Amino acid sequence: MDRSGLADFLRRCRESLQPEDVGLPRGQRRRTAGLRREEVAALAHMSVDYYGRIERRRGPQPSESMVASIAQALHLALDQRDHLYRLAGHHPPVRGAGEHLSPGMLRILDRLDDTPAEVVTELGETLRQTRPGVALLGDASLRTGPARSLGYRWFTDPAVRARYHPDDHDLLGRAWASGLRHVLALRGPGSRAAQLTEDLLASSPEFRRVWELHEVGVHPGERKRLVHPELGLLELQCQTLQDPHQGHSLLVYTAEPGSETHGKLQLLAAVGT
């Protein structure tokens, strides 16, 4: 661990950011150059004292999860994130299969506050949601373990299927199995994709049946028909923006202006969860 280098790097990264860069209000009486330490600590979900001690070269070695939280809070690019890990005495995560969101992806998501949107991993795990996204799809922060993956929930939780139009169930199941097969071939044995595949093979007879088809390239398309528990049927378009470096996808859900679903989405954005 390079305490001096770590402290200096964190301070310079913090001072180079403005509140609006990370989705925070500026406020009227602001004299600090860049972000305040307490703002970084809040974004990283850690105490101000803990973060402040690291910047003052007096803190303990931060864990890998702490480094990941700080890197995300400071909106670091991948090269910066990797440098931060090395300064903290850790090996950087393998690129392409992690949960670190790129600064560009975060900036786009911050500007979609009135639109259902989410960032998901290649395994269908939601990393970040807008407020209307939570109201439309449920709070992803409550999910743990393999259930973080929508594909896993699709084959193991009947309540998840109830949120999708019955006529789409067969295609969606085949698409999830096909997508997982692609990621497994990309990441190989010992990967999180391999573990998720083993979990599904052990717990879902339907997944075993679909998996044995050995289908690849099955895609669900942009049209989504969701059945919301309060608002009923929603006919949506799902636009996707991909981050090729991390394997993340930004999913934005919209409806045709003037349609019944468009009115329901406006209500959803106003009322929230």
pLDDT tens series, the chain, 273 aa: 899 999 999 999 999 988 888 878 777 677 777 888 999 999 999 999 999 999 999 888 999 999 999 999 999 988 999 999 999 999 988 777 678 888 888 889 988 988 999 999 999 999 999 999 999 999 998 999 999 999 999 999 999 999 999 999 999 999 999 999 999 998 889 899 999 999 999 999 999 999 999 999 998 888 999 999 889 999 999 999 988 788 899 999 999 999 999 999 988 877 765
Helix/strand/coil for 208: helix
Q: How high is the pLDDT of residue 93?
A: 83
Which candidate, 123, 130, 78, places its Cα nearest to that of 251?
130
Q: How high is the pLDDT of residue 270?
A: 79
Cross-strand pairs, 120: 126, 249
- Displacement of CA 232 from its chain's centroid (Å): 26
Question: Which strands sit side by side in the sheet containing 223-228, from one edge to the other?
Answer: 126-129, 117-120, 248-254, 232-243, 223-228
Q: How far is the C-alpha of 155 from the C-alpha of 124, rounded, in Å?
A: 13
Side-chain half-sphere exposure of 217, counting CA atoms within 13 A: 0
User: Residue 122's CB: how many other CB atoms inside 10 A?
Assistant: 21
Q: Is 208 in contact with 75 (CB distance < 8 Å)?
A: no
- Displacement of CA 257 from its chain's centroid (Å): 27
Predicted TM-score (pTM) of the model is 0.79
Residue type present at position 172 = L
What are the CB-based long-range contacts (under 8 Å, 24+) for 84-93?
84/6, 84/9, 84/10, 87/1, 87/2, 87/5, 87/6, 87/9, 88/1, 88/6, 88/61, 88/62, 89/1, 89/2, 89/61, 90/64, 93/68
Q: How high is the pLDDT of residue 66?
A: 93
Q: How high is the pLDDT of residue 272?
A: 66
Tokens of 191: 């990967």
Q: How high is the pLDDT of residue 273?
A: 58
Length of the chain: 273
Q: How high is the pLDDT of residue 99?
A: 85
Q: How high is the pLDDT of residue 193?
A: 94
